[in-house]
């Protein structure tokens, strides 16, 4: 005997479907409205199945897209405000060092990208669960399964989770950004990209390194806020050190006053004096506070200027000398007279050499 029972005034539908009586559910308004207009159970059920649920799902998707668009607009607005800067002291520093402004813009963009990704994941996850609930499925087991799956992934993919969490804190704490020159321990170079999982940087030889964020234990940033050029200039022991200090100060001060280098050197240079003694001579240190990523250009220019000034003033720069010692040429050995050799008697004792004359 069949389990299906058909009871309908104007159509044949299984009793299991009609037993739901969608027109009696106040939340299913389309079904109730069609049933009230037509007094037809079949049309009410079809309207609920073909119109109400697809329209509800479509509205949920459109609502999710609209919410994502609004959140992205808000994040873009906050990002632009953060990139423009609101602190007067920071703006004054950026007027001298434009790279500080570029760095803040890069950090603001990174933060904006992170917030957009998080907002997108959260919104569409919520929309997906709401769509499943609209289709009539119980989402409680799904939520419980999602929780269990999250715990399992947390234990099974600890390194991946560690990379993501480390990447979030690196961006939030502004440890480094795109364009910075950093030392990550195993790799040193210019940062080209910072993602949630890996950091990509290129060293001076052009090699691209991919470093997982979870494996980064320390970060040495050589281009954050300001940098410093440290030059150790060797001179001979017989040179007047007071004169050397004066010459180095004049060269560094002239470079600081040069309009072409006004944005690269932030403060008046300093000559710290004798740094150490070596076998070749005395090492005198001069330092210049520079803008980020400008320390190497300033160092090269300073070396050229110091070499030119030392040559003009006849100040010698010591260098290591190498001397080779060896036997004289064969011609010189042939010209030398041979020394008389002592002859040995049959008993084995040497005889004295005969004297000349």
Residue of 82 and 4 predicted with greater confidence: 82
Residue of 269 and 196 predicted with greater confidence: 269
What integer pLDDT is reported at residue 87 of this predicted model?
A: 41
CA–CA distance, 353 with 340 (Å, rounded to integer): 7
The residues with which 248 forms a beta bridge, in sequence order, are none
Task: Report how far apart, in Å, the C-alpha atoms of 308 and of each of 12, 57, 172, 280, 314 are.
Answer: 104, 77, 47, 21, 10
- pLDDT greater than 60 at residue 176: yes
Residue 4's pLDDT band (cuts 50, 70, 90): very low
Number of Cβ atoms within 10 Å of the Cβ of 97:
19
- pLDDT greater than 60 at residue 90: no
**Please, what's the b/e burial string for 330-346 (b: 16 or more CB within 10 A of its CB; e: otherwise)?**
eeeeeeeeeeeeeeeee
Average the pLDDT over 87-113 and give the result. 59
Give residue for tokens 């050190």.
241
What integer pLDDT is reported at residue 11 of this predicted model?
A: 44
- pLDDT greater than 90 at residue 302: yes
Average the pLDDT over 149-172 and give the result. 78
CA dihedral angle for residue 148, residue 152, residue 158, residue 161, rounded to 10 degrees: -40
Specify the range with the lowest mean pLDDT, choosing from 88-92, 181-185, 188-192, 266-270: 88-92
Number of Cβ atoms within 10 Å of the Cβ of 28:
20
Specify the range with the lowest mean pLDDT, choosing from 65-74, 199-208, 216-225, 304-313: 216-225
Do 116 and 67 touch, CB atoms closer than 8 A? no
Burial class of residue 177 (count of CB atoms within 10 Å of its CB; 0-12, 13-18, 19+): buried
Specify the range with the lowest mean pLDDT, choosing from 23-27, 198-202, 319-323: 23-27
- pLDDT greater than 80 at residue 273: yes
Average the pLDDT over 139-146 and give the result. 78
CA–CA distance, 283 with 275 (Å, rounded to integer): 6
Chain segment 11-70, per-residue pLDDT in tens: 444 433 444 555 555 555 556 555 555 666 565 666 565 555 777 788 888 999 999 999
What integer pLDDT is reported at residue 175 of this predicted model?
A: 84
- pLDDT greater than 80 at residue 335: no
What integer pLDDT is reported at residue 108 of this predicted model?
A: 75
CA dihedral angle for residue 124, residue 128, residue 133, residue 136, rounded to 10 degrees: 150
Mean residue pLDDT across the chain? 76
DSSP structural state of residue 336: S
**How far, in whole angstroms, is CA 159 from its chain's centroid?**
19
What integer pLDDT is reported at residue 129 of this predicted model?
A: 86
- For the chain, the 3-state helix, strand and coil shares in percent, each to the nearest 5, are 50, 15, 30
What integer pLDDT is reported at residue 136 of this predicted model?
A: 73
Chain segment 47-60, per-residue pLDDT in tens: 565 555 777 788 88
Report all structural domains of the chain as residue ranges with CATH numbers, in order of start. Answer: 9-156 (no CATH), 175-223 (2.30.30.60), 227-313 (3.30.70.100)
Query: Which of 203, 199, 202, 221 has its CA nearest to residue 212?
Result: 199
Average the pLDDT over 116-129 and give the result. 87
What integer pLDDT is reported at residue 86 of this predicted model?
A: 46
Do 28 and 52 touch, CB atoms closer than 8 A? yes
What integer pLDDT is reported at residue 262 of this predicted model?
A: 82
Three-state SS string over 249-314 comes to: HHHHHHHHHCHHHCCCECCCCEEEEEEEECCCCEEEEEEEEECCCCHHHHHHHHHHHHHHHHHHHC
Average the pLDDT over 271-278 and give the result. 91
Question: What sign results for the dihedral spanned by CA atoms 102, 103, 104, 109?
Answer: positive
Enter the tokens of residue 104: 């803040």
Q: What is the maximal distance between C-alpha atoms in the chain? A: 159
Specify the range with the lowest mean pLDDT, choosing from 67-71, 139-143, 166-170: 139-143
Helix axes 295-313, 241-257, angle to 10 degrees: 130
Average the pLDDT over 163-176 and give the result. 81
What integer pLDDT is reported at residue 24 of this predicted model?
A: 52
Query: If you write DSSP's letter for every residue of 56-111 in order, what string do you get?
Result: HHHHHHHHHHHHHHHHHHHHHHHHHHHHH---HHHHHHHHH-HHHHHHHHHHHHHH
What integer pLDDT is reported at residue 26 of this predicted model?
A: 53
What integer pLDDT is reported at residue 25 of this predicted model?
A: 55
Q: Within 13 A of 105's CA, how many CA atoms are on the CB side?
A: 9
What pairing do the DSSP bridges indicate for beta strands 343-344 and 350-351?
antiparallel
């Amino acid at each position: 005997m069949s389990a299906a029972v058909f009871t309908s005034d104007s159509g044949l539908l299984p009793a299991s479907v009609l037993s739901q009586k969608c027109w009696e559910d106040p939340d299913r308004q389309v079904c109730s409205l069609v049933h009230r207009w037509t007094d037809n159970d079949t049309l009410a059920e079809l309207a609920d199945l073909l119109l109400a649920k697809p329209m509800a799902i479509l509205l949920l998707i459109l609502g999710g897209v609209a919410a994502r668009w609004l959140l992205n607009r808000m994040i873009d607005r906050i990002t632009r405000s953060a990139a423009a800067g609101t602190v007067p002291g920071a703006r004054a520093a950026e007027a001298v060092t434009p790279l500080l402004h570029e760095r803040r813009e890069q950090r603001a963009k990174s933060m904006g990208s992170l917030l957009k990704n998080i907002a997108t994941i959260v919104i569409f996850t919520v929309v997906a669960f709401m769509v499943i609930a609209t289709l009539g499925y119980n989402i409680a087991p799904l939520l419980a399964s999602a929780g269990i799956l999250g715990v399992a992934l947390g234990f099974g993919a600890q390194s991946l989770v560690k990379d993501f969490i480390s990447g979030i804190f690196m961006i939030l704490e502004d440890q480094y950004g795109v364009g910075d020159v950093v030392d990550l321990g195993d790799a040193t170079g210019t940062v080209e990209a910072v993602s949630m999982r890996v950091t990509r940087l290129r060293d001076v030889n052009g090699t691209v390194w991919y470093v997982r964020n979870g494996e980064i234990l320390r970060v040495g940033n050589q281009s954050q806020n300001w940098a410093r050029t440290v030059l150790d200039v060797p001179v001979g022991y017989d040179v007047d050190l007071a004169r050397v200090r004066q010459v180095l100060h004049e060269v560094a001060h002239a470079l600081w006053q040069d309009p072409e280098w006004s944005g690269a050197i932030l403060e008046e240079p300093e000559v710290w004096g004798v740094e150490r003694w070596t076998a070749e001579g005395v090492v005198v240190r001069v330092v210049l506070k520079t803008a980020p990523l400008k320390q190497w250009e300033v160092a090269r220019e300073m070396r050229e200027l110091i070499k030119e000034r030392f040559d003009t003033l006849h100040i010698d720069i010591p260098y290591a000398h190498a001397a080779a010692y060896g036997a004289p040429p064969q011609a010189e050995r042939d010209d030398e007279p041979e020394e008389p050799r002592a002859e040995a008697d049959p008993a084995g004792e040497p005889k004295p050499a005969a004297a000349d004359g």
